[in-house]
A and B are shown apart, each in its own frame.
Chain A
Amino acid sequence: GEDVEQSLFLSVREGDSSVINCTYTDSSSTYLYWYKQEPGAGLQLLTYIFSNMDMKQDQRLTVLLNKKDKHLSLRIADTQTGDSAIYFCAESIDMRFGAGTRLTVKP
């Protein structure tokens, strides 16, 4: 089947920017999503991007989409300790999720 791939870990210092990357293989996805999972909780939708867009900004979050390379990224500006969580990218066709990137923010 189609795959969604992410690196598993990212560590940044408080106040720095975080960039979480994702690659996908199904080019027919209409939407691509970023979900956040805090410890012991379910996933919550963080943001999404429609496939005909290449960028979406929402406060501290910037999503970049490169359809040619099938690459999606999530940038978190001014990362805070409260941003520590697992971030999942997902595509809309089969609702296939990546393995999740565990973001650790160090004070």
Chain B
Amino acid sequence: NAGVTQTPKFQVLKTGQSMTLQCAQDMNHEYMSWYRQDPGMGLRLIHYSVGAGITDQGEVPNGYNVSRSTTEDFPLRLLSAAPSQTSVYFCASSYPGQGGHEQFFGPGTRLTVL
């Protein structure tokens, strides 16, 4: 299994540009989520999905859109990038198990918005 994969690993955007961060998992997990990691602030939940066709907002959803057309894929769209969206983005997936919602994380996408 490849686990959780994210592309690209690095991206530089100009203010106002749009882009999509890709996330895929091959573990047949129902639950997927997107976080951003900023220094001193830990991980903050952007959006999550409990299954194909179902998405919901997390703690910091503004400026981001998601969709979940398949179990495997959960792309994150930045509609009009802003410097405040400079961050490291992590996608995660999970299934309820002995450890509750143990999450498996992708390697991250480092995004810089100029």
User: What mask results when residues 32 to 48 of chain B are scored 1 for a CB within 8 Å of chain A, else 0?
Assistant: 01010000111111001
B contacts with A: majority SS:
strand
Cβ 8 A contact of B100, one of A6, A92, A97: A92
Q: Nearest B residue to A94 by beta-carbon distance?
A: B45
Q: Does B102 contact A (CB under 8 A)?
A: yes
A44 touches B105 (CB 8 A): yes
Cβ 8 A contact of A48, one of B43, B44, B92, B99: B99
Cβ 8 A contact of A95, one of B33, B40, B41, B107: B33
B99 touches A31 (CB 8 A): yes
What residues of B have a CB within 8 angstroms of the CB of A100 in the complex?
42
B103 touches A92 (CB 8 A): no
A45 touches B102 (CB 8 A): yes
Number of interface residues, chain B, beta carbon within 8 A: 23
What residues of B have a CB within 8 angstroms of the CB of A99 in the complex?
40-42
Q: Does A43 contact B (CB under 8 A)?
A: yes
A95 touches B101 (CB 8 A): yes
Q: How far is the CA of A30 from the CA of B97 in the complex (A)?
A: 12
Q: List 28 A-B contacts (CB under 8 A).
A: A4-B42, A6-B42, A30-B100, A31-B101, A33-B99, A33-B100, A41-B107, A42-B4, A42-B90, A42-B105, A43-B43, A43-B92, A43-B103, A43-B105, A45-B99, A45-B102, A45-B104, A50-B100, A92-B100, A94-B45, A94-B59, A95-B103, A96-B45, A97-B35, A97-B42, A99-B40, A99-B41, A99-B42
